[in-house]
Amino acid sequence: GEDVEQSLFLSVREGDSSVINCTYTDSSSTYLYWYKQEPGAGLQLLTYIFSNMDMKQDQRLTVLLNKKDKHLSLRIADTQTGDSAIYFCAESPSYNTDKLIFGTGTRLQVFP
């Protein structure tokens, strides 16, 4: 079955890099996503990567995809207090559906 796993908590000091990890089980996934949920709000798309890519960089965000190990990571450079949120990875299992399978979410806490 499909399952997307993340560690529940991550705590980093302001200015350091954060790395949030995700493992998924469906090797046929087409796109993989990172969503951010700020307190009291819904989820918002941060970035996504197509399954034939290894890496994608977008300003402070770097996404790495290891298809062999079914491992996805999100690196946030120069982490700020405004980055404190819950981060969800998600996979799109096929071209025939727009359903996503979400991970458990990682709560990132940034301290001064």
Would you call 92 exposed, middle or buried from its count of C-beta atoms within 10 A (0-12, 13-18, 19+)? Answer: buried
Nearer to other proteins, 44 or 80 (CB): 44
Tell me which of 10, 12, 43, 64 binds other proteins, using CB under 8 A. Answer: 43
**Residue 44 touches other proteins, criterion: CB under 8 A:** yes
Q: How far is CA 89 from the centre of its chain?
A: 4
Task: State the nearest-atom distance from the C-beta of 68 to other proteins, in Å.
Answer: 21
Tell me which of 55, 82, 95, 112 binds other proteins, using CB under 8 A. Answer: 95
In sequence order, the 6+-apart residues with CB closer than 8 A to the CB of 76 are: 17, 18, 19, 20, 60, 61, 83, 108
Task: State the nearest-atom distance from the C-beta of 17 to other proteins, in Å.
Answer: 24
**Residue 27 touches other proteins, criterion: CB under 8 A:** no
Report how far apart, in Å, the C-alpha atoms of 102 and of each of 59, 81, 107 are: 24, 24, 14
In 3-state terms, what secondary structure has residue 106? strand
**Residue 99 touches other proteins, criterion: CB under 8 A:** yes
Residues forming contacts to other proteins in the complex (CB under 8 A) are 4, 6, 8, 30-31, 40-45, 48, 88, 92-100, 102-105
